[in-house]
Amino acid sequence: MTGFLLVLAVSVITCAGQLCQKQAAQVSADGMACVLRWLGLAVLLLGIGMLLWLRVLQLLPLSLAYPMLSLNFVLITLCARWFFHEHVDGRHWCGVALIMSGIALMSVSL
């Protein structure tokens, strides 16, 4: 169970890092200090995510852990919609639903 919670933590932390990258890309050139702060935060979060990922790999088989990381696609889609008001069409939502179904199937022990 700890491994699955760590996969969730890695997904959330790396998602936050990617959102910081997006925010840095949207800051105007006049605010270079602001860009550097967002990029610094992104590097910090992505670094923490990588360290946690190494722990996940100690706890779970790679064939199980890596596909579960596709939760990032779901989180990024939701965050892009909520925070950046990006348009997400129906086909994209169907893909999100399929990813969620796949993760649910993989997390159920037979």
**Confidence check: pLDDT of 109 > 70:** no
Tokens of 19: 């959102």
Share of the chain above pLDDT 90, in %: 65
- Specify burial of residue 15 (Cβ count, 10 A radius: 0-12, 13-18, 19+): buried
Q: SS3 for 34?
A: helix
pLDDT digits (tens, 9 = 90+) for 55-101: 999 999 988 888 888 889 899 999 999 999 999 999 999 999 998 89
